[in-house]
Amino acid sequence: MSVTPRVVRFDSWVNAAFDERLRSEPDIELQVHAMPGSPEQTHQLLAQAHVFHVSAAKDEIPSHVFVTDTLLAACPSLLCASSYGAGFDPIDVQACTRAGVAVVNQSGGNAVSVAEHTLGLMLSVSHRIAESDRRLRRERGFSREALTGTEMAGKTIGLVGLGNIGRRVAALAKAFGLNVLAFDPLLSTDEIRSRGAEPSSLESLLERSDYVSLHCPRDASTRGMIDARAFARMKPGAVFISTARGGIHDEAALGQAIASGHLAGAGLDVWDQEPPPLDHPLLSCDTVVATFHTAGVTHEARRNMASISADQIVRLLHGERPPRLINPEVWPRYLERFEAILRRPA
């Protein structure tokens, strides 16, 4: 290789396995910089980068490090935008495709952790665990019957999305004695059944499920998908769960559905704004269990994500197609740019 590939990341938290893996490669250079304070500084630090490894947490990094048309124009050597996460909210995928830049994520790396968290939210809402904990710490004089819960066994869970995480939730749900429905327009009915669920339309799933749990990406087809009409279609007394992405469900409509008594509660790990403001109406609902996008934040998941992302970058910088390519249509153009940028005489 005539030019040494350069991977750049800023100093938002990344498991040490990422740096260790890349620094073990003699023909790859890793640069770690302090988070830049301006677009100009960002462009300067990334001007010679071939891979930009960026946090997937859009609310934890400044917008001037988002991968946009503007950033891409200032970084002519960039070959890949790599998201440190299953999501890729800070990356404009269409802009990258136009520029011939591959976009990769780490889908599946935190699937076990997110699936476990999903069941934890379901258990907490159904058995009123968080509600009981809060009341026990601040009150006396209430009865145990005031915190009567509901068993999950024998109920039905509807999974919107049956990918890496959804299929693991399906397996865990069956262990708890739940019936499993799934809506996933990307999978055939036979594939859905092979992943442990009964195929369903979204409308039927909403009407039949005691728990509705989101496991789909946020994109143009899913943004705002679970709106007031969707919540109204759900069974009275049902529970809504999301460990997917904020913006797929309408938070105001969810609050109204809970306040009216139509829904029994919700378990939410994701928000339009993260963290949500302290005065967010859903945080005042006793039957809402709220977490801070921590479903995939475990020691095991973070190390797994770091290892997967580093391995994928190494593969990509050796001209191999990465397994988690978000924009596959870019690949022929990527290979052309790869040869022109990295194989050119030094």
Say which residue the tokens 């058995």 belong to: 127
Which regions in the chain score pLDDT beneath 70?
1, 344-346
Active-site residues, by number, are: 245, 274, 293
What local confidence, expressed as pLDDT, does residue 57 receive? 82
Cα distance between the two ends of the chain: 9
d(CA 238, CA 158): 11
pLDDT single digits (tens) 17-29: 999 999 999 999 9
Helix axes 111-126, 299-317, angle to 10 degrees: 150
* Cα 252 to Cα 255: distance, rounded to the nearest angstrom: 5
Any idea what the Cα angle at residue 3 is, between residues 27 and 39, rounded to 5°?
A: 100
One-letter amino acid of 70: T
Global pTM exceeds 0.85: yes
> Residue 76 contacts by C-beta under 8 Å, 6 or more apart in sequence?
none
pLDDT of residue 2: 78
Residue 95 carries which side chain, given as an amino acid letter? A
For residue 324, CA distances in Å to 28, 49, 106 come to 20, 21, 7
pLDDT at 345: 57
How high is the pLDDT of residue 87? 82
Structural domain spans, the chain: 6-109+299-342, 111-290
| pLDDT at residue 60, rounded to an integer | 85
So what's the pLDDT on residue 346? 52
Residue 119 confidence (pLDDT): 98
Predicted pLDDT of residue 344? 65
The pLDDT, as a whole number, for residue 214 is 98
CATH of domain 111-290: 3.40.50.720
| 6-109+299-342 CATH fold | Rossmann fold (3.40.50)
